[in-house]
Structure 1
Amino acid sequence: MDTDAGDDARFTDEQRELWDHVAALWEVARRRETEPVRKLLHREYSGWVTGTDAPHDYEAAIASVGPYSPRVLRYRLKPLKVTVFDHEVGVVHYSYEAAVETPDTGAKSISGRWTEVYKKDGDRWLMISVSGGPDGMR
């Protein structure tokens, strides 16, 4: 529930809008709200989490924030690079630290990195792909 504000000054308005969208998605995920995620993912979405054997699809992404996923207790995001191409495609690279909880393992701290790709659809950003995940996974 924290983002590193140190890089804010170098963002353009468009980059700031996209970064704020990334942070808002983390909040939606923290609250385990699947319906907003359905509206924020492109129907042809695909992503690949580090350490998994294959990419996942739209429905798997929805499930990743649902009631059977690890509960995010708190998090900190640090933008590394935010790029917007021709006002219609955005790429966000960032690192994160989070405390998560599962029924099996209880609470634990994790850190990792994500690259997220977005496509502008009218006045909103739709996620079309992600790649990354927890550090130490291969």
Structure 2
Amino acid sequence: MDSDDREAQHFSHEERDLWDHVTELWEIARRRETAPIRKLLHRNYSGWVTGLETPHDYEAAVASVGPETPRVLRYRLKPLKVSVFDHEVGVVHYSYEADVESASGSAQHVGGRWTEVYKRRGNAWLMIAVSGGPDGMR
């Protein structure tokens, strides 16, 4: 819903394309659409959320945006570093703040950071790995 683009002003065309992809994924997740997420994750995807014992897989990542998860009401993203290597691998570091609907129906404010790794397939980016999550989860 909101992105702090001051850092993004200095992105190359490729870096901007990748950052735009990250913001698109947040919108898809906000709408809780699992079908597009399935197409935008590599089948061998793995991720590790701060504070959890073990990494998760493709199916867990898809489920994390599904209708059984807390609804994202608002969010703000701040890109910290976006790098593209040899036109085929991208790494994005960013922080976020979000208001999510709690189990009781009230809004809860969360903030954290993610590192996401992507592989280019044709003109699209596939997420292959993530690490991060809410602050204070260690």
**1:63 counterpart letter in structure 2:** A
| Partner in structure 1 of residue 15 of structure 2 | 15
Q: CA deviation at 1:116?
A: 0.1
TM-score normalised to the size of structure 2?
Answer: 0.98
In structure 1, how many angstroms separate the alpha carbons of the residues matched to 2:88 and 2:132? 22
Q: CA deviation at 1:111?
A: 0.2
In structure 1, how many angstroms separate the alpha carbons of the residues matched to 2:73 and 2:42? 27
In structure 1, how many angstroms separate the alpha carbons of the residues matched to 2:95 and 2:128? 19
| Partner in structure 1 of residue 106 of structure 2 | 106
Correspondences of 1:65-84 after superposition (within 5 Å): 65-84=65-84
In structure 2, how many angstroms separate the alpha carbons of the residues matched to 1:94 and 1:120? 19
1:63 aligns with 2:63: yes
**2:11 counterpart letter in structure 1:** F
| Partner in structure 2 of residue 96 of structure 1 | 96
Task: Return 32-41 or 97-106, whichever deviates more.
Answer: 97-106
Which consecutive residues of structure 1, in runs of 5 or more, have no partner in the other structure? none
Percent sequence identity is: 72
1:119 aligns with 2:119: yes
Which consecutive residues of structure 2, in runs of 5 or more, have no partner in the other structure? none
In structure 2, how many angstroms separate the alpha carbons of the residues matched to 1:104 and 1:51? 23
**1:98 counterpart letter in structure 2:** A
In structure 2, how many angstroms separate the alpha carbons of the residues matched to 1:28 and 1:58? 16
| Structure 2 counterpart SS, 1:20 | helix
Q: Number of paired residues?
A: 138
In structure 2, how many angstroms separate the alpha carbons of the residues matched to 1:44 and 1:124? 17
Q: CA deviation at 1:104?
A: 4.2
| Partner in structure 1 of residue 36 of structure 2 | 36
**2:33 counterpart letter in structure 1:** E
Q: CA deviation at 1:8?
A: 2.2
Task: Return 96-105 or 6-15, whichever deviates more.
Answer: 96-105
What is the CA RMSD across the aligned residues, in angstroms? 0.9
Query: Structure 1 segments of 4 or more deviating over 6 A?
Result: none
**1:21 counterpart letter in structure 2:** H
